[in-house]
């Protein structure tokens, strides 16, 4: 039974703290505590403001009721912006702490927001049911998930949570970077590859993003939770690209390749190409692709030929150490390396922090020097004014591109040649071959588990990892897999095109045989129309054939009659 005006007044007199409540909050408390008619409650609320005698509208009462049911104070504007109440936020904090213990993974910001939206929808459903029980004639709006980016920042601050770089890669390194995996690579892959290879023929290539800032996936965790995230604070930059670097064990670098997120080479960077300080390529994302790696392999083979001519060893086999990026799966690139007498040796998955010389000793000081050079050159723009014409350096983006590429070239000159490069090969045990040097790394996990032997290769998609990628067996497998993928893709495209042609609807007007005086509009699919027209044509052909046969029979009959008459 719903409360009337007298019952509402009686309940209000016994309501504690009513003097400090606004009229809308009083109405929301009464509606939440007892079933009441919203019209009677709105009319009665005029008594709460004796000066104006203005009643609280039904919409305001419902909004205050929803806020109160969600655990928020209708009179507090800051609380009304909170999408979750205190109880739900505590539940979310417990969920964040449990993720590390149950799944050994720290949730990212997107996962936290998704969990918060689930809690919000659950609370919203319960509140809507309560609203219907109090106000049966209320029209409910469909659920719409709120934008929780702003709420997320306040939630992290309220509960003193911490954010840092995602540890997904570190978890993978814990699994793959074992001592047994390192020994397996040295014995089964590296030893046969580097036999009779001098240090100037032992090369290592790697890509790195060149920018004054690095964007890392942030994770959320409690200060009491054990976490090994790497927190970084970088300066801002308006331009980034990818730098492909190659060095050899003798300390001789190759001209670096910069992959720009542009379609055309900017005019302000042409000076670097003319002076043979770098090579430029373009890709929409700024990252390396199979085509770019294929073109770079041609330049690398030319670089190897120059080294062979310099050391008077035209038939010397060269070795290129690399990670297992998917750009290395290009069959044409592997054929170019093989024809150039170069063996591509791929490290085991997630072990480049232990085995790759560029990762271990070069990239970290390179990025440190890059940022230092970038800040110095950005503050003193005399360099770009000297090399670049005025019409090509008007914008700040052009100046940033020039300064960033020049800073990268200067940093590479310092760290990617000479003693630093030679020490990088020694520390990783690549040259001279020394597994103990790699095993002395503190980040090696002491375990007998060899991850590479546990992974079953797929016949449809061969895996390039911990192998000599330029072997003829692997090239044939990649070629077969590529041809199979192309064939499957063409079949799928043909099936999709046939399905599209079949499902395309074509409005036509078709004349029915049994209703000759009425032209009725019908909608046929293209296949149905073709079959119907074919059937009609068949009927007409049959009718025409019958008429011709009848005419032929009549003619033969007439000829027979005339012959009898003549006799």
- How confident is the model at residue 515, as a pLDDT? 33
Distant-in-sequence, close-in-space partners of 218: CB < 8 Å, separation ≥ 6: 108, 109, 163, 164, 165, 166
pLDDT over threshold 90, residue 244: yes
Mean pLDDT (the chain) is 79
The percentage of the chain sitting over the pLDDT mark of 70, rounded to a whole number, equals 75
pLDDT over threshold 80, residue 172: no
C-alpha dihedral over 255, 259, 260, 261, to 10 degrees?
180
- How confident is the model at residue 251, as a pLDDT? 92
Distances (CA, A) of 448 to 169, 430, 452: 21, 22, 12
Q: What SS3 string covers 341-360?
A: CEEEEECCCCCHHHHCHHHH
- How confident is the model at residue 61, as a pLDDT? 80
Confidence of residue 506 (pLDDT cuts 50, 70, 90): very low
- How confident is the model at residue 519, as a pLDDT? 32
Please say whether the beta carbons of 161 and 109 come within 8 A.
Answer: no
- How confident is the model at residue 62, as a pLDDT? 78
Lowest mean pLDDT, pick from 39-43, 73-77, 329-333, 539-543: 73-77
- How confident is the model at residue 288, as a pLDDT? 92
Confidence of residue 429 (pLDDT cuts 50, 70, 90): very high
Dump pLDDT digits (tens) for 315-347.
Answer: 999 999 999 998 999 999 999 999 999 999 999
Please say whether the beta carbons of 326 and 290 come within 8 A.
Answer: yes
- The stretch 133-162 carries a mean pLDDT of 75
DSSP symbols for 524-559: EEHHHHHHHHHHHHHHHHHHHHHHHHHHHHHHHHHH
More confident of the two residues 359 and 547: 359
C-alpha dihedral over 49, 52, 58, 62, to 10 degrees?
-40
Lowest mean pLDDT, pick from 15-29, 373-387, 538-552: 373-387
- The stretch 491-518 carries a mean pLDDT of 55
- How confident is the model at residue 185, as a pLDDT? 94
Tell me the C-alpha distance between 412 and 387, whole Å.
20
Lowest mean pLDDT, pick from 175-189, 223-237, 270-284, 312-326: 223-237
- The stretch 397-419 carries a mean pLDDT of 89
- How confident is the model at residue 381, as a pLDDT? 59
Q: Are strands 218-221 and 202-210 parallel, antiparallel or unpaired?
A: unpaired
pLDDT over threshold 90, residue 314: yes
Q: Specify burial of residue 176 (Cβ count, 10 A radius: 0-12, 13-18, 19+).
A: buried
Tokens of 229: 């995230």
More confident of the two residues 152 and 134: 152
- How confident is the model at residue 265, as a pLDDT? 86
pLDDT over threshold 60, residue 66: yes
pLDDT over threshold 60, residue 440: yes
Confidence of residue 426 (pLDDT cuts 50, 70, 90): very high
- How confident is the model at residue 221, as a pLDDT? 64
- The stretch 286-297 carries a mean pLDDT of 93
pLDDT over threshold 50, residue 475: yes
- The stretch 259-264 carries a mean pLDDT of 89
More confident of the two residues 34 and 64: 64
Lowest mean pLDDT, pick from 251-265, 380-394, 512-526, 538-552: 512-526
Confidence of residue 459 (pLDDT cuts 50, 70, 90): low
Please say whether the beta carbons of 112 and 152 come within 8 A.
Answer: yes
pLDDT over threshold 60, residue 521: no
């Amino acid at each position: 039974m719903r409360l009337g005006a007298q019952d509402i007044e009686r309940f209000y007199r016994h309501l504690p703290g009513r003097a400090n409540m606004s009229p809308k909050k009083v109405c929301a408390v009464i509606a939440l505590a007892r079933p009441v008619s919203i019209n009677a409650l709105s009319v009665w609320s005029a008594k709460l403001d004796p000066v104006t005698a203005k009643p609280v509208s039904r919409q305001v009462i419902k909004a205050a009721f929803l806020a109160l049911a969600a655990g928020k104070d209708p009179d507090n504007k800051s609380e009304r912006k909170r999408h979750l109440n205190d109880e739900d936020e505590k539940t979310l904090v417990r969920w964040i702490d449990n993720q590390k213990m149950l799944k050994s993974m720290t949730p990212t910001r997107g996962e936290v927001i998704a969990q918060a939206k689930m809690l919000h929808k659950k609370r919203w459903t319960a509140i809507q049911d309560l609203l219907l029980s109090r106000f049966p004639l209320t029209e409910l709006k469909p659920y719409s998930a709120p934008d929780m980016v702003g709420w997320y920042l306040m939630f992290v601050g309220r509960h003193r949570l911490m954010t840092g770089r995602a540890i997904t890669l570190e978890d993978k390194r814990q699994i793959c970077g074992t001592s047994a995996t390192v020994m397996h690579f040295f014995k089964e892959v590296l030893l046969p590859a580097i036999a009779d290879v001098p240090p100037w023929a032992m090369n290592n290539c790697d890509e790195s993003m060149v920018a004054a800032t690095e964007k890392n996936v942030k994770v959320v965790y409690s200060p009491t939770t054990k976490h090994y995230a790497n927190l970084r604070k970088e300066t801002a930059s308006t331009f980034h690209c990818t730098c492909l670097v190659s060095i050899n064990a003798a300390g001789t670098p190759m001209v670096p390749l910069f992959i720009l997120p542009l379609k055309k080479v900017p005019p302000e960077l042409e000076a670097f190409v003319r002076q043979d300080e770098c090579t430029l390529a373009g890709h929409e994302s700024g990252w390396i692709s199979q085509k770019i790696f294929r073109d770079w392999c041609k330049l690398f083979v030319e670089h190897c030929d120059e080294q062979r001519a310099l050391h008077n060893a035209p038939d010397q086999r060269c070795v290129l150490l690399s990670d297992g990026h998917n750009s290395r799966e290009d069959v044409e690139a592997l054929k170019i390396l093989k024809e150039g007498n170069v063996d591509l040796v791929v490290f085991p998955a997630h072990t480049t922090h232990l085995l790759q010389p560029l990762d271990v000793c070069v990239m970290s000081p390179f990025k440190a020097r890059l940022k230092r050079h970038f800040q110095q050159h950005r503050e003193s723009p005399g360099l770009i004014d000297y090399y670049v014409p005025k019409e090509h350096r008007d914008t700040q983006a052009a100046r940033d591109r020039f300064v960033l590429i020049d800073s990268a070239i200067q940093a590479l000159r310092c760290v990617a040649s000479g003693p630093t490069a030679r020490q990088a090969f020694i520390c990783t045990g690549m040259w001279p071959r020394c597994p103990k040097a790699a095993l002395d790394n503190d980040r090696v996990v002491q375990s007998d588990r060899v991850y590479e032997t546990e992974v079953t290769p797929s016949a449809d998609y061969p895996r390039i990892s911990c192998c000599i990628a330029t072997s003829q067996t692997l090239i044939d497998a990649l070629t077969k897999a590529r041809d199979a993928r192309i064939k499957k893709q063409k079949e799928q495209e043909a099936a999709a095109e046939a399905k599209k042609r079949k499902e395309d609807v074509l409005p036509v007007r078709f004349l029915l045989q049994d209703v000759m005086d009425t032209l009725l509009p019908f909608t046929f699919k293209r296949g149905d129309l073709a079959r119907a027209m074919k059937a009609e044509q068949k009927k007409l052909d049959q009718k025409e054939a019958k008429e011709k046969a009848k005419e032929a029979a009549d003619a033969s009959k007439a000829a027979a009659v005339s012959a009898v008459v003549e006799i």
